[in-house]
Structure 1
Amino acid sequence: MSSSNSVTVQILDKEYSIICPPQERSNLVNAARYLDGKMREIRSSGKVIGADRIAVMAALNITHDLLHRQDTPAQPVNDNTREQVRDLLERVDLVLANDPETPKG
């Protein structure tokens, strides 16, 4: 994919460039904003320190919310939503794996 398919998002004061199909740009930007908000909430609580730990806690909170919604009949989660969440988690894992500031091990 070319750099024209790359979207730059900012999460917790750090920029990430992510390759994304043009039709998914809006969803990616919205997901990044949502994640940024969750991570800022966790950071401001002062209970979790370190970007990697904050990211894991945010992922757990978002996943919990998603699964809770899945259990609520009024707001079922379809297979497309699950696939989108899996795709976003894979992208986050890839970015974190390639981030030289993320501790390994």
Structure 2
Amino acid sequence: MSSIEVTIMGQGYRLVCPEGGEAPLLAAAAAVDREMSAIRDAGKVKARERIAVLAALNLAFAQAERPAAPVPAAAGESRPDAGLDALIARVDQALGADGQLL
């Protein structure tokens, strides 16, 4: 295992990754930093936690739109987007009185 330092929205983080995984982790951190900074710079969202959640959803949605190998559906899931619906519901529940995302 190796560790790397990344900066996301001006905050430093030390991350541990498997040997040889440094480049993909640095690329992922850069993508998160770009997305979070863009949301912050748009000026509509101030809370760091909400910026992080919105950035995560944006990145996950962009990833989901790319053609990829099929992912097996969890038991009981009938629609391809059921997992995303469940994730949004969990985020809304976690935000509580702070308001719903969608």
Q: What band does the TM-score fall into relative to the shorter chain?
A: 0.5 to 0.7
Deviation for aligned residue 1:62 = 0.7
The equivalences for 1:51-70 within 5 A come to 51-69=48-66
- For this pair of structures, how many residues does the alignment match? 71
Please tell me whether residue 8 in structure 1 is matched to residue 12 in structure 2. no
Where does structure 2 lack aligned partners over 5 or more consecutive residues? Answer: 71-102
When normalised by structure 2's length, the TM-score is 0.64
Where does structure 1 lack aligned partners over 5 or more consecutive residues? Answer: 70-75, 80-105
Identity percentage of aligned residues: 39
Match of 1:24 among 18, 21, 24: 21
Deviation for aligned residue 1:24 = 0.5
Q: Which secondary structure state, in structure 2, belongs to the residue aligned with residue 19 of structure 1?
A: strand
Deviation for aligned residue 1:25 = 0.3
Q: Which residue of the partner structure matches residue 41 of structure 2?
A: 44
After TM superposition, the runs of 4+ consecutive aligned structure 1 residues lying more than 3 A away are: none
Name the structure where helix makes up a greater proportion of residues: 1
When normalised by structure 1's length, the TM-score is 0.62
Cα RMSD, aligned residues only: 1.7
> What residue identity is the alignment partner of 2:68?
V
